[in-house]
Amino acid sequence: MYKTVIIDDEPIIVKGLEKTVKWQDLGCTVAGTAYNGIEGMKLIRSVRPDILITDICMPGMDGLTMIAALKSEFPNMEITILTGFRDFDYAQQAIRLGVCRFLLKPSIMDELNEAIRTMLERLEARVPAGEADQMQETVQDKVQGEPEEGKEEPEGAAGSFIVKNALAYLEENYAMRLKLADVADNVYVSQWHLSKLLNKYTGQSFSELLNNVRVEKAKELLSDPSLRISDIAEEVGFLDMAHFSRVFKKQAGVSANEYRNTVSVPQK
């Protein structure tokens, strides 16, 4: 039996899908339901469903980022979006991220049944029923390793989307006491998965990327001679002046004071 999860912040829709669709006849079982994205993500990581039917316009969650996270962590899971959000570009992006169907509320049962049948056909073409979990566990267990020769890891567009959002979050929040867990929570993936994606797409670790952003911001501020270097270090997120000095010199090749003297020299 293929496991299905339903997520929507409208309980009437969740209950309607759970009771109206003839899941048993389709060879499926509803493994769980949730009424918001955060709860839904926890449920998915717990039961590892084969099929997900979800809204993407729920409070406190970026729908596309959630979809990207799910397709990156669970590449074999088939997803149908059921939403009232009518935006063609948004729908196109969701399809590029690996969504099977993008249905608008209210959808008729024929549309829903067609979407479910298509997801089942895709699952059966990829892997026999009952083996999907094993494949997902294999992907989950492969941390920090090179992909098998001749095979590409399954993140694809979803992984690229996650990294783009993670880097944007760093740019906006570099002055905070950021940890990998903070950024991972923002893009809805686990810490190890985000670390793996950052390394794959940028060739750098989280701490290296964060330090890069902070040093570049510090360089901008060093052009203002009225600012003390210790104040600049704190403003870009370093609580320890000695740490800032070490990181800056490693990144820029010169000390912060030497860099300031260089950028402050009038150009002839």
Buried b / exposed e over 247-260, threshold 16 CB at 10 Å, is bbeebbeeebeebb
The whole-chain average pLDDT of the chain stands at: 83
Q: Which two tokens stand for residue 81?
A: 């979006």
User: Tokens standing for 212?
Assistant: 């890069």
Q: Which of 160, 182, 159, 158 is nearest to 170 (CA)?
A: 182
78: pLDDT strictly greater than 60: yes
Strands 101-104 and 78-83 turn out to be parallel
Question: Which tokens hold the place of 255?
Answer: 């000390």
Sheet holding 51-54, edge to edge: 28-34, 2-7, 51-54, 78-83, 101-104
Cα separation values, 14 from 21, 23, 123, 146, 212, Å: 11, 14, 23, 40, 45
Name the least confident of 29-43, 53-67, 104-118, 239-253: 53-67
**pLDDT band for position 137 (50/70/90)?**
very low
Residue reference for tokens 């209950």:
15
pLDDT tens digits, 9-66: 889 999 999 998 999 999 999 999 998 888 888 899 999 999 999 988 777 677 788 8
Domains and CATH numbers, the chain: 2-140 (3.40.50.2300), 208-264 (1.10.10.60)
Q: What is the pLDDT of residue 56?
A: 82
Whether the CB-CB separation of 98 and 155 falls below 8 Å is answered with no
